[in-house]
Amino acid sequence: MTNQANEPGCGEIPDLAGKHLVLGLTGGIACYKSAELCRALIKAGATVQVVMTAAAEQFITPVTMQALSGRPVYTSQWDSREANNMAHINLSRQADAILIAPCSADFIAKLLHGSASDLLGLMCLARPIDKVPLLVAPAMNREMYAHPATQRNLRQLEADGAKVLGVGTGFQACGETGDGRMLEPWQLMEDIIAFFVPKALAGQKVLVTAGPTYEAIDPVRGITNLSSGKMGFAIARAAREAGAEVTLIAGPASLPTPRGVARIDVISAQNMLDAVMLRAQSATVFIATAAVADWRPAVPSTQKIKKDGSRQPPQLQFTENADILATVARLATGHAGKPFCVGFAAESHDLHENAQAKRLRKNVPLLVGNIGPDTFGQDHNALLLVDAQGCTEVPRASKLLLARRLVREIATRMSALGLAQQNVQDISLGNS
């Protein structure tokens, strides 16, 4: 599975532009994923220097990794290509981070004990800890992963300052099923990109709604809309990148859950309202991105409505759905349970006027307007930010880029209101 949101649009700066990464490979069948990961890092704008252990060479060749990275691969601490014969010093000093993927149980143990028996271990030991972070993507059999020694080593590795990226669950090359698989390249990419994003929402609990709702007419028919959920999912990802604890309440949407985001699937507007209100008082930010149906059939049929031969359509009675955003915004001012509310308005015309009117009607500090037919199902969008001071147009860009811009806007506004941690004050809205 790939995540298309990683693909930069025309004129957009790639997510890892200017970053130089050392990609370390240790022994394991997951080395085949490292080839795709290397390619993805390059496409995201990074430069990649591959370093392989002797065990890694049993699973994938240096020639393959050289072709993908565009750089000679290093395998020995005695590599004579370095004029001073100190590859472990030179390579580590040039890196913005060292990523070991896959990282075997054996190499995790070596890292823990500071082993320097090969170039990769020597380089990790010699890196400036305060300047060159170490990211580790474990990969091993489920029993090896669950072993107390491995779990103890991983905990200590994190205590020593390394970032352990976690593991996947599923079928393993040995034929067993369980935890220990290396994460898929797209999952690692999300984690790596998030690692470098300033944590403007650190300590915040963000609640996001996304996608359409579905209001049943009968067991096989219903009322919905064309919202894909892409904007809301992008916002959830961007908020998580910015350090927030994120819960995503999603209507019917066929999208992968962003890494590190807790997802709750709902169907109807009432389902979404119930899920939101259970969590709204513990959230510090509420972003109502979902395209919620304004109306629903008052009494859905318990059986499929059949044609009766009269050619007359069935007469449906409708009742209004509760306004989720307005309901959250009405929580008592100053109450610990009232989050900073951000609404969305999907309009078909007169965007400025309708969006400003909706902001006042909902009584929220920030409302984001867009033209629904131009954005539903699309990977790109253009936004209108509406607040008490007026309207700001944000030009068309990928939804992920727009989501990151919106997150920075929210962080800065919360900082101005004294609602966020001090570190958000340094965020620049001019950086995309």
Q: Is 38 a catalytic residue?
A: no
Instruction: Determine the angle formed by the axes of helices 230-241 and 185-196, rounding to 10 degrees.
Output: 50
Cα(350)–Cα(94) distance, rounded to whole angstroms? 52
Cα(411)–Cα(424) distance, rounded to whole angstroms? 6
Q: Name the active-site residue from 10, 31, 103, 174.
A: 174
Cα(402)–Cα(426) distance, rounded to whole angstroms? 19
Cα(116)–Cα(123) distance, rounded to whole angstroms? 8
| Residue 272 C-beta-side C-alpha neighbours within 13 Å | 31
Q: Are strands 380-387 and 163-164 parallel, antiparallel or unpaired?
A: unpaired
Q: Torsions phi, psi of 169, nearest 5?
A: -120, 135
Cα(409)–Cα(59) distance, rounded to whole angstroms? 46
End-to-end CA distance of the chain: 26
Kind plus residue range of the DSSP H or E element containing 375: helix 372-375
Kind plus residue range of the DSSP H or E element containing 219: none
Cα(265)–Cα(274) distance, rounded to whole angstroms? 12
Cα(33)–Cα(44) distance, rounded to whole angstroms? 16
225 contacts 277 by C-beta, under 8 angstroms: no
Quick one: which of 116, 156, 119, 115 has its CA closest to 136?
156
Cα(77)–Cα(20) distance, rounded to whole angstroms? 20
43 contacts 17 by C-beta, under 8 angstroms: no
One DSSP character per residue, 277-309 reads: HHHGGG-SEEEE-SB--SEEESS--SSPPPP-S
> Which positions are annotated as active-site residues?
174
